[in-house]
Amino acid sequence: MPATFSGGCACGAIRYECSTEPMLMGNCHCRDCQRASGTGYSSAALVPASAVKIVKGEPKYHSVTAASGRTARRGFCAECGSPLFADNSSGSGMMAIKPGSFDDPSWFKPMADIWTSSAQPWDHMNPNLPKFPKDPMGG
């Protein structure tokens, strides 16, 4: 895993740099992530928001009330629609970065599956990853 990494959207309108390695990496199977990703789950790398710098462009954000009751925000490119970021109103100072947006996504290694209580029956999860019916961190 790299100590720092960078990435951006599919069209190049948004670029970011992250100055630290992720604290956690995982797959979320909640209904909000299914809708946002257009498939069975959304993968994410959790980092301190203060470690992320947008160096080009500005993401557009969409907010929803998550199952936890918190406001969940998803950042994406308004030009090409690429999902890039997510955070919530927990006040944790953390944000999620979508690994498909990394310049080199090959190093992403999910550590757990969360919100498996909402997983679709056709979504075959890695049997070696720990499973959590909800978010163990309360997110």
pTM value?
0.90
Each as own residue / partner, the long-range contacts of residues 133-137 (CB below 8 Å, 24 or more positions apart, any chain) are 134/67, 135/28, 135/30, 135/68, 136/112
Domain boundaries, the chain: 5-101+108-120
CATH code of the region 5-101+108-120: 2.170.150.70
Q: Which pLDDT tens digits describe the chain residue by residue (139 residues)?
A: 778 999 999 999 999 999 999 999 999 999 988 998 999 999 999 999 999 999 999 999 999 887 778 888 999 999 999 999 998 877 788 999 999 999 999 999 999 999 999 999 999 999 999 999 987 776 5
Measured between alpha carbons, how far is 9 from 83 in angstroms, rounded to an integer? 7
Nearest by Cα to 138 from 81, 80, 69:
69
Measured between alpha carbons, how far is 77 from 11 in angstroms, rounded to an integer? 9
Nearest by Cα to 36 from 105, 91, 96:
96
